[in-house]
Structure 1
């Protein structure tokens, strides 16, 4: 039982994954009230890439920690370090990337630039202007209001993921790197390659992929990927490779198809696409509600009132 001097509602703390070692070492020992923890803001797979096993154990076994919401969560590794206390771990989707373009002009292909660099060194059509998260959301909502239902879409698989040294990581024994996936998919006529070599404007990419019933989205530099959540909100059924996020897809009942590396391309057939579309039809209609910011904040804040 908690001491009576503690407040009735727990604190809600957010700590970037890159600061977790310092947080556990310097801050946690001084915490005197129950708390709910959120961790993200980086590509580290949580918890084991953010701190060592002893720190994970120390944090999870802290009686004041009520729950720990993690982006890029590997629940199995957390269980190995935290034992029964790993039940405190919660999946937290990485969601949409609305922050990059809000920070300033953006080079198509993945860099932020200053205005001077834009005007002097770059062709104008390589740069997207800065826009606020609200402005970006409105563009997405306009597309969502006009997009076709899954059964009316092109029965093919859209793919525009980037392949370079930055995105060469493998996550788990059942995963594929992006380069391996490209090689596997070579010659599969059901895959529509888009993206303009990374130079396509995001609004154009969103409109294009909303025409297709499926999209491939794979882990990149981190376990989770913004592309996955864009695809889901645009009404696509996501095709991906196995990872520690498999349980999150099932738990949230999202329209995600997980394929093994050995048959990643050969599984993509007209028959399977037709069957998967029928199986996931009901899930597609409910995606918007499941990914709303208010739903997730209510879930997290609800756990601050459980003491």
Structure 2
């Protein structure tokens, strides 16, 4: 049983590495070429299904879904099928809007007037919310939408919505800037990456809050900046440029891995309970770490690789 699972994980990893190399080639051109590929499991080959070119100098964003491609410019969102046929268009009326593509919805952010509009993947409006104050950014995490605003002039505020547009959580930081958030699977806890610039020294910390804004605990990081935070089930991952820590919800350290170099990219494979990281030192490596902190695979890779997908 263990051998069969190992083989499946190895095949999946080989596929992701192959896909990564293909995307690197695509990203190296200003003309974004979208190829629809079919994986043949028996021969490990990719078959080209369809292809189109999109001039990215005319657009500010792109998102590829299973059956459509969404592209956006300053005043319009356009949906294309894989033959290049326009499925629908949606005008954007906000000034200097920010568009974020989620798994479930599309979000149009009017950062000046403080309004968020949510569209479904057919371009239909499903809800909107007026904050009546400036908005910094929005992030879709699981079944929630996180909206970063200000509480007054100095304090950062984190507003949490369900995907129906109902406000379900609200947190105000007494100090520091919220860089990122994650929400626990049970929707009861919020993890926040905070950068504190109040003193002469830059402070970085990870803080755990209840959904209603009560701080449970915080942990400071000395002489480093936290670059990534995540819940992994009921555990908490904290990543800096050269270190990975896993803690439990009571702040107990489960393991700590120092990296002999600098972490360039890191992804969490929840299904297989593993962490995949790309880092550089004297050479560049792709390493897979189990949820227990043990190395499952480590391989030297080409120095030109900049990201793992």
- Determine if the TM-score, normalized by the shorter chain, exceeds 0.5: no
Structure with the bigger percentage of helix: 1
TM-score, normalised to structure 2, is 0.24
Select the structure with the greater relative contact order (CA < 8 A; seq sep ≥ 6). Answer: 1
TM-score, normalised to structure 1, is 0.25
Structure with the bigger percentage of strand: 2
